[in-house]
Amino acid sequence: MKKFTFAFIVVSTLLLNACKKDNTVSASNLSAGHSKVSLTAAGATSGNFSSNDLISIVAKSGAEINLSASYVNTTSFTTEIVLMLLPADITTGSYNFKTMSSSAALPTFAYTKGVNGWAATPSESEFTIVVSKATSTEIEGTFSGTLHNDTDNTDVTISNGKFAAKY
């Protein structure tokens, strides 16, 4: 019986460790058409977000990069979504929403948790996206700042934001 118990513990440990979710945010770890996003939220909602690679996508068209990252909590059935729209010709660098023109259509950033959503608005939001890698097939970077919900007048502060995508 002791041999069986020991073998069961060893096999269980190996299986559980093999099934750990990979939280690395790197385009090189993704298949084409997928994205990965992680962040920490505080304020009107709080917690850590790490997207599920299988339901997180990216598409690059002539004018924009549309990056969508999702996570579904199967315990509470709460869905979290991050949406980023970036210019297709974006280069590495820092993009501060506060210093952008209010007529700027891109970049755009939104975070939704359950039925509530918050967004960054050009010329108004203290929100920054830093692109550290921008190639013809991949993009990576970080983001942080404050998002606002105009409907209920609440804010969410985002920190430790990371994104990656492979087109």
Residue 36 lies in a domain: yes
Name the domain count of the chain: 1
pLDDT in tens, 16-61: 333 334 456 889 889 999 999 999 999 999 999 999 877 899 999 8
pLDDT in tens, 87-127: 999 999 999 999 998 887 789 999 999 999 999 989 999 99
Residue 37 lies in a domain: yes
Residue 1 lies in a domain: no
89 in Cβ contact with 108 (< 8 Å): no
Residue 16 lies in a domain: no
Q: Where are the alpha helices (DSSP H) in the chain?
A: 2-18
Domain residue limits at 100: 22-166
Residue 15 lies in a domain: no
Q: Report the chain's terminal Cα–Cα distance, integer Å.
A: 53
Residue 17 lies in a domain: no
Cβ atoms < 10 Å from Cβ of 111: 25
Q: Which amino acid is at 37?
A: V
